[in-house]
């Protein structure tokens, strides 16, 4: 079988290799890889800026946004041959910390968690992979063309849950949400905002291509003006920041009304310096009871929430988020961003092209 591997120290880090078919361990599922979503984290891993290799190896099977079809399922696993399945990315740390011990590995306290395709364990960028059934999630069979959007949807399901929990500390009746960044995370955050009946606004730089009509067809408003202007025009109760761009992060924090919540989801590179009026920002956050919360990864509860959100969404709209499907032998292309990209997908099987 073929797999996309990364060796960050090599001159050409990305490679499609022939690997032996994996043998499922006791109780595990054998899954045929159908598709793999590509994201900024993958590009950071390729450039050596994020993640870790498995111990004693100089390569890793890349990929954490999975979609596959179960080929072999042990009795009692809850899965049957032919089921569509997605793999959970993170595994608890070995100690385990208090959060990991309670199934909240997305909130790991000691950082010793592992992540498939990211940190120390092989990912899902292979034509076959194995998985423990308790870390696999079954998808509605109708989601074959869009199920690869599950993992980023889990990330936004968690972000929304954080927002609702932070909001729940007092009376909370949000009306307007601003999402900054119309990439896959921004689009899916906007979708979950609409599903909550909110007035949704999305800010991005681009004025052409697939993003503006996608946002409008969701029933949300698309903005390209300066963030400061958009913040004062929209007056959002909630901001979901999905760019990691320093200026947007701070303008969002400064611009919310009283009891505003800013949820940060963008992983930005270190070393981006800007000048901020820290005094007035602090004053504003304190006097308005504002909250800023970071959110990463997702646990099994969020996978269930995401599966429900995708099942309830318009499939044709979801399909338009996937702007490119690239066959596995042209993997390099999938990992090279194109101007009109929202989500590029690697087809591990010809049926996913
Ligand atoms: C993934 C998360 C992961 C994070 C940090 C993101 O791209 O979606 O599952 O926890 O990267 O490695």
- The yes-or-no verdict on residue 139 having pLDDT over 90 is yes
First to last CA, the chain: 17
How does DSSP classify residue 313? S
Q: How far is the CA of 225 from the centre of ligand 1 (A)?
A: 29
- What pLDDT shows up at residue 102? 98
User: Domain 2-139+314-352 class?
Assistant: alpha beta
Mean pLDDT confidence for 202-223: 98
Q: Which of 85-99, 209-223, 262-276 shows the lowest mean pLDDT across its residues?
A: 262-276
Q: What is the CATH number of domain 154-294?
A: 3.40.50.720
- What pLDDT shows up at residue 156? 98
Ligand 1 atom index nearest CA of 118 = 12
- What pLDDT shows up at residue 342? 98
Retrieve residue 30's tokens.
């054998």
- What pLDDT shows up at residue 268? 86
- The yes-or-no verdict on residue 136 having pLDDT over 90 is yes
Ligand 1 atom index nearest CA of 41 = 7
Predicted TM-score (pTM) of this structure:
0.97
Domain with CATH 3.40.50.720 in the chain: 154-294
Ligand 1 atom index nearest CA of 296 = 10
Kindly list the distances between the CA atom of residue 256 and the CA atoms of 52, 204, 227, 233, 271, in Å, as whole numbers in the listed order. Answer: 37, 18, 12, 11, 26
Mean pLDDT confidence for 107-114: 98
The pocket around ligand 1, CB under 6 angstroms, is made up of 39, 41, 64, 89-90, 115, 118, 151, 155, 296-297
From 38, 40, 41, the mutation candidate for ligand 1 (largest count of ligand atoms within 8 A of CB) is 41
The total of other beta-carbon atoms located within 10 Å of residue 166's CB is 18
Calculated CA dihedral for residues 131, 137, 141, 147, nearest 10 degrees: -90
Mean pLDDT confidence for 42-66: 97
Going by their DSSP bridges, the two strands 261-264 and 128-131 should be labelled as unpaired
Retrieve residue 329's tokens.
């032998």
Q: How far is the CA of 118 from the centre of ligand 1 (A)?
A: 8
Q: How far is the CA of 115 from the centre of ligand 1 (A)?
A: 8
- The yes-or-no verdict on residue 162 having pLDDT over 90 is yes
Q: How far is the CA of 330 from the centre of ligand 1 (A)?
A: 24
- Tens of pLDDT, residue by residue over 55-82, are 999 999 999 999 999 999 999 999 999 9
Whether omega for the bond prior to residue 96 falls within 30 degrees of 0, making it cis, is yes
- Tens of pLDDT, residue by residue over 114-134, are 999 999 999 999 999 999 999
Residue 173's Cβ-side half-sphere holds a number of Cα atoms within 13 Å equal to 1
From 50, 65, 89, 104, the mutation candidate for ligand 1 (largest count of ligand atoms within 8 A of CB) is 89
For the range 227-232, what are the long-range contacts, defined as Cβ-Cβ under 8 Å and sequence gap of 24 or more?
227/180, 227/203, 227/251, 227/252, 227/255, 228/255, 230/178, 230/201, 230/203, 231/178, 231/255, 231/256
Q: How far is the CA of 229 from the centre of ligand 1 (A)?
A: 31
C-alpha 59/C-alpha 125 separation (Å) is 13
Ligand 1 atom index nearest CA of 50 = 12
3-state secondary structure 225-263: CCHHHHHHHHCCCEEEECCCCHHHHHHHHHHCCCCCEEE
C-alpha 148/C-alpha 296 separation (Å) is 18
- Closest-CA residue, ligand 1 atom 2, reads 297
Domain with CATH 3.90.180.10 in the chain: 2-139+314-352
- Tens of pLDDT, residue by residue over 292-304, are 999 999 999 999 9
Burial class from Cβ neighbours inside 10 Å (0-12, 13-18, 19+) for residue 37 reads buried
- The yes-or-no verdict on residue 272 having pLDDT over 90 is no
Q: How far is the CA of 266 from the centre of ligand 1 (A)?
A: 10
C-alpha 143/C-alpha 146 separation (Å) is 5
- The yes-or-no verdict on residue 270 having pLDDT over 90 is no
In the numeric block, the tokens 């963030």 are attached to 227
Reading across the β-sheet that carries 199-203, which strands appear in turn? Answer: 221-223, 199-203, 176-180, 238-241, 261-264, 291-294
């Amino acid at each position: 079988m073929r797999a996309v591997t990364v060796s960050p120290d090599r001159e050409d880090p990305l490679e499609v290799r022939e690997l032996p078919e994996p043998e499922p361990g006791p109780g595990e599922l054998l899954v045929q890889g159908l598709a793999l979503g590509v994201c900024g984290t993958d590009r950071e891993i390729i450039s050596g800026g994020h993640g870790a290799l498995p111990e004693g190896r100089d390569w890793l099977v890349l990929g954490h946004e999975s979609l596959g079809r179960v080929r072999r399922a042990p009795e009692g696993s809850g899965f049957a041959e032919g089921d569509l399945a997605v793999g959970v990315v993170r595994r608890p740390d070995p100690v385990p910390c208090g959060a990991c011990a309670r199934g909240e590995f997305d909130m790991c306290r000691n950082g010793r968690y592992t992540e498939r395709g990211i940190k120390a364990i092989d990912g899902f960028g292979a034509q076959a992979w194995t998985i423990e059934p308790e870390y696999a999630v079954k998808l509605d069979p109708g989601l074959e063309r869009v199920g690869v959007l599950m993992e980023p949807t889990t990330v936004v399901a968690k972000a929304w849950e954080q927002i609702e929990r932070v909001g729940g500390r007092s009376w909370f009746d949000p009306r307007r949400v601003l999402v900054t960044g119309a990439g896959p995370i921004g689009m899916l955050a906007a979708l979950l905002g609409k599903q909550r009946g909110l007035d949704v606004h999305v800010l991005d730089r681009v004025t052409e291509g697939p993003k503006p009509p996608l946002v409008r067809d969701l029933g949300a408003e698309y903005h390209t003006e300066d963030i400061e202007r958009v913040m004062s025009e929209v007056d959002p109760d909630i901001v979901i920041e999905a760019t990691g761009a320093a200026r947007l992060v701070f303008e969002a924090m400064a611009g919310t009304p009283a009891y505003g919540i800013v949820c940060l989801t963008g992983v930005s590179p270190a070393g981006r310096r800007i000048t901020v009026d820290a005094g007035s920002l602090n004053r504003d956050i304190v006097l308005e009871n504002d909250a800023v919360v970071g959110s990463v990864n997702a646990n099994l509860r969020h996978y269930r929430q995401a599966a429900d959100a995708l099942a309830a969404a318009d499939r044709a709209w979801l399909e338009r988020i996937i702007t490119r499907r690239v066959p596995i032998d042209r993997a390099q292309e999938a990992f090279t961003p194109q101007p009109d990209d929202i989500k590029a997908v690697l087809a591990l099987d010809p049926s996913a092209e």
